[in-house]
Amino acid sequence: MGSIAERDFDKLAAEQAKDDADILDELESEAKAFGKDSEIARILGAFKANPYDVLDLQPGVPDDDIKKTYRKKSLLIHPDKTPNKQAPDAFDRLAQAYQALLDEKKRAILDEAIADARMLLIRDRKLTIDSDEVKDPDVEFMKAWKDKVKWVLADNEDRRRRQMRAQMQEEGREKRKEEEEIAERKRTREHADDWEKTREVRIGSWREFQKKEEGKKKGTKKKIKKRRRSEAEAEVTPYKKVMADHTNGKMDIDTPASDHPKDSNNGNGEIDESLYSRQLYVLGHEAMKRMGNSHILISGLRGLGVEIAKNIALAGVKSLTLFDPRPAELRDLSSQFFLHPEDVGKARADVTVPRVAELNPYTPVGVHPAKSLTEDLESLKKYQVVVLTDTPMKDQLTIAEYCHENGIAVLITDTFGLFGFLFADLGKDFTVSDPTGENPLHGIVAGIDEDGLVTALDETRHGLEDGDFVTFSELEGMTGLNDTAPRKITVKGPYSFTIGDVSGLGSYTRNGLYHQVKMPKFLDFEPLSKQIKNPELIMSDFAKFDRPGQLHAGFQALNAFAEKHNGQYPRAHHEADAKEVFELTQEIAKSSAEPVELDEKLIKELAYQAQGDLSPMAAVFGGLAAQEALKAVSGKFHPIKQWLYFDSLESLPTSVKRSEELCKPSNSRYDGQVAVFGQEFQDKLANTKEFLVGAGAIGCEMLKNWAMMGLATGPKGEISVTDMDQIEKSNLNRQFLFRSKDVGKLKSECASQAVQAMNPDLKGKINMLKDRVAPDTEHVFNETFWESLDGVTNALDNVEARTYVDRRCVFFHKPLLDSGTLGTKGNTQVVLPRLTESYSSSQDPPEQSFPMCTLKSFPNRIEHTIAWAKDLLQTYFVTPAETVNLYLTKKDYLGSALKQSGNEKQSLEILRDYLVAEKPSNFDDCIEWARGQFEKQYHNAIAQLLYNFPKDSKTSSGQDFWSGPKRAPDALTFDPNNDTHYTFVLAAANLHAFNYHIPSSSDRKHFLSVLDHMVIPDFKPDPGVKIQADDKEPDPNAQPGQDDDTIIENIAKSLPQPKTLGDFRLEPVEFEKDDDTNFHIDFITAASNLRAENYKIATADRHKTKFIAGKIIPAIATTTALVTGLVVLELYKIVDGKTDIEQYKNGFINLALPFFGFSEPIASPKGTYKGPDGEVTIDKLWDRFETRDVTLQQFLDDFKKKGLEISMISSGVSLLYASFYPKARNADRLGLKMSELVEKISRKSIPEHQRNVIFEITAEDLDEEDVEIPYVMVKLDPKA
């Protein structure tokens, strides 16, 4: 019995154990399912805008942790592994979060928002970074931080959406502007045609009128007092011609030189800002005035000399005199763009001067009347600067010594092939008024302690350097420091600096500003005779540290060789001549003050190229020398002290041979270039197809260089150039291919015609276009166009266009040369297929933006008031007119369209005001409206602000409300005799009248009469008005009011029906900064300065306001010329087909300092994935998969063979395939061709001109790792 019982017990135990195991399995299965469901719920409940929250990660984790977490969670909740219906949504959100964290730019923005949230939380709790609660946060702090992150991200997204809406409105305006510009160009061309048809009749009438006037003058005995000309003007032979100005009816007539202004002024002692506007923002008025009183002589008029002359003439000086009596040679045409083949044999100066004189009506240009400068040194005394090029060494020494002794600045510069140098002697005790050209820094003081340690407000970096000087104002407590002499500072950190002893000046309590003061710098220069023995060298390329000393000796050896050989330099690639030059260099090096170790190969290369004359090298040194000449007469920017040597030997070709035979002259205009590169390389240049995007300042310089080089002049060569812009007067100061007669014409056409005149070999070789390069013109710049190119060069001034061209170059695997300038600063970038990163791979810091709360209520800088005033222009004269026109033209505007806009009440109030309540019937109404706006903005709004926040207000922490960045304002009382007050009303009234098509007026007496009869009601503050006190706090006016629905309904009922107004429309103002007659800048200047008066901020003149409001890019011809030269030196390498990234150079220059920096381009990023045959390396930027237009099933199978399991496919914004889609949905698509799939899902047909479609894919490799792989290009089948 016992044994039976035991067996029963064992059986029962076994069954129980099995049951327990089944239960445990079931419980584990349920736990897994619960875990999946729980995780899906967590993901969907997480804050979508915070990818860290979605992935349940802490900020700052490394990429590996992100990848592991995503892998684990994606496998857990994969739609194929759980029946949960919400799994696809959770999986999609998880994937989006993962992609966002792997995107460096998006992650950086997210991390910044999280850091901001932490600082806000610390500030809210009145903690510091060192507080224990911050260093060792508890659960509650972490939760509060998380909530604050959510608020910051939501606020950022709200800002982004508002910005997008504004951008969409702006794009609409741009589209209309573009259409109007096309119509205007058509009208201009028609007007020009009509003008030409009657040209002879008008000239005949003018001549007849002139004869009558001369007859009248002969009959009068009235004496005319002649203006006494200066010595320099008397010696200069003037060449002037007034060109046609179709816009004001002037005719082509020759005018005596004495009738022209002799400096950069407009004849009334004022600078012509319409011509010099971009340059003024670089140099300033004072420097321009000093330049306008200076006389400069340039000796030597081959390519380098004329380049210097061109840049100085454009800049504007009192007189520019040229000297070169030698006859022009055919080889000069390698770089001398103002010589023509028929000029060969004529004196260079005689034929060059009239062409330089055309560049600027304010710069008289003449010939120096002498056969030799050394024979009449006394004649040099009339000049402030003498520039020598192509001058023998003995003459250099003689002239330089005389100039040094007589206080005349002297510059000596020359180029030999790919080598060049510049020497500067600006004399003894030369004063530099502004060494950097940067705007003085200023900021708000947070504190000054008893030791003189100054702390900037709110952890704002002060940007100052040791040795800078500052002054102070508006300090409370330490009042003895206000408005005293500048103090030298020592930087203690990015947020603090010391100013020395502050005892006896009081104890700092609050407020105050610091202001950087630019102090003059005094320099002593040594004469050439001393410097040639013991040179003071500056580096142009830190990768060539040993070059300047060697080239200093080598250039002297070239001059010594020329003296021995009747002025002739070594023959091109002549070994015996090169050997002699090297031996001369050795002798010179032995006597050098500093030991020089010579590289024989380098010195011989210098000798090989001594006959070389390259346009881009002339551009580089022409820009450099011209800027140094302007520094010498203006004192603006730090000069070169005293030698600079530069070479670009990397530009020498390696794909062709060079020899004495291949480099010898052949009586060709390209002999100067052939001497360096050889005839075979010249042929490669001639048969190149290049695309130039933009024909502005850089574009003009680029085309000039290409013309001199003979680029695209061969049977297979072609230059395509496009620019949709028309020429404006302000362009003439830098874009030297244009003349005043070209104003209003297309840039691409005029520039192309100008360079064809420079080099007739280009006739029929330039494809002139007037289309912008953008997505909407891909039917013009189609695949056939792009594929035909050898290279692309950008000459654009905006990031958006440059980025688009960059993307196209990456797509079509075309090399791109990009460059840009900003005043005296410039940069160049080389983009090479499969070698370098692209232009879009890196981004400049975003433009500074101001918090809305600061602009609305708490400005503390003039930039704040200008931004506010520009927005006011939009608020008054743009948005209302556009809103009214939409109401009048768009069907059911008050229905769906307005409700979807999100600002229904505001739009209806605009319609009520501009169609009913404030609609003017005459100009007097406009004056009264403008006066009312003054009262509203500068008195009532300020009085309301002070009612909400009186001047003695305290914050919740007990601090003064009006302190730090918050400046307590005062309301203004209108004074018609105050120019700023009156100008605001004048401009506002005229702009309001413009909106309503009412004739404008500037009659001051009439304005004052209307204003005098106006009655302005007293202001009463409204207790119900809420004002946002801090931009970090929620806007109290963001939520709609309780009675908004009723208000909206009542306003809508009060509006007139559109059909009752017939064809009535308002005319929106389109902001144009360069039209001085349209009141736009006048309004912004007055509006800004009135607000500055409210807040006791230093006002800004019209010039500065225009610069800030118009976002003007400062520009000067010298920087443009130099940068373009550097770009063309890189073009030589591209044409040669170099594949060694170390041979290319990205350039960074600042002529103000001066600074020259060169670096190798950054290599394109590489990646790997595990394929069937092992690890596969890919170029993340340049690589792509290419395939035929196969079915989706074949597409998936093809990639599976490559070891890639595709989980998602998209094209544009359409998601075409996802592994987590229901099988039925994917099954319907597997049999479709990829092109059919795109058209079906996007519901759009593929354009006729498009020959391929791009697909983005997400995939795993054989290691089941998510891999970042290139896009896929599907080539479409040819259409029947």
Distance CA 12, CA 16 (A): 6
> Taking the mean position of all CA atoms in its chain, how far away is CA 238?
38
Cα(221)–Cα(245) distance, integer angstroms: 35
Query: Among 849, 847, 854, which residue's Cα sits nearest to residue 1033?
Result: 854
583 Cβ contact partners less than 8 Å away, ≥ 6 residues apart: none
**Encoded tokens for 363:** 């710069």
Helices (H), 649-739: 660-663, 671-677, 679-686, 697-709
Neighbours of 1119 (CB within 10 A): 29
> Which of 325, 271, 322, 260 is closest to 293 using CA atoms?
271
Pick the catalytic residue from 403, 750, 809, 853: 853
- How many separate helices (H) and strands (E) can be counted in the chain? 41, 33
Q: Quick count: other Cβ atoms within 10 Å of Cβ 1097?
A: 21
Q: Are 711 and 686 in contact (CB under 8 A)?
A: yes
C-alpha closest to that of 965 among 1099, 1101, 1095: 1095
Question: β-strand 825-831 against 1146-1150: which pairing, if any?
Answer: antiparallel
**Nearest-angstrom CA–CA distance, 380 and 384:** 9
239 and 695 in contact (C-beta within 8 Å)? Answer: no
Amino acid at 358: E
Run of H or E residues at 1259: strand 1252-1260
Euclidean distance between CA atoms 603 and 557, whole angstroms: 9
Collapsing DSSP states into helix, strand and coil, what is residue 1249? coil
Look up residue 891 and give its two tokens: 């069907």
Confirm whether 750 is a catalytic residue. no
User: What phi, psi does 127 have (nearest 5°)?
Assistant: -105, 180
- Write the CA distances from 1272 to 876, 1211, 1234, 1262, integer angstroms: 49, 10, 11, 19
Tokens of 228: 């006494």
- Other CB atoms within a 10 A radius of the CB of residue 202 amount to 13
Amino acid sitting at position 775: P
How far apart are the two ends of the chain, measured CA to CA in Å? 95
Per 3-state DSSP, what percentage of the chain is helix, strand, and coil (rounded to 5)? 50, 15, 35
Residue 155 neighbours by CB distance under 10 Å: 18
* 3-state class (DSSP) for residue 471: strand
What's the maximum distance between 2 C-alpha atoms anywhere in the chain?
161
Length of the chain: 1280
Q: Which amino acid is at 687?
A: N
Taking each helix axis as running N to C, give the angle between helix 104-124 and helix 139-197, from 0 to 180 degrees, rounded to the nearest 10: 120
Q: What region does 371 belong to: left with phi over 0, alpha with psi -120 to 50, or beta?
A: alpha
> Rounded to the nearest 10 degrees, how much is the dihedral formed by the CA atoms of 1067, 1113, 753, 189?
10
Residue 280 CA to residue 282 CA, distance in Å, equals 5
d(CA 1144, CA 815): 12
CB 967 within 8 A of CB 858: yes
When computed from its CA atoms, the radius of gyration of the chain, rounded to whole angstroms, is: 36
| E strand map for 775-920 | 791-794, 816-822, 825-831
List active site positions: 853
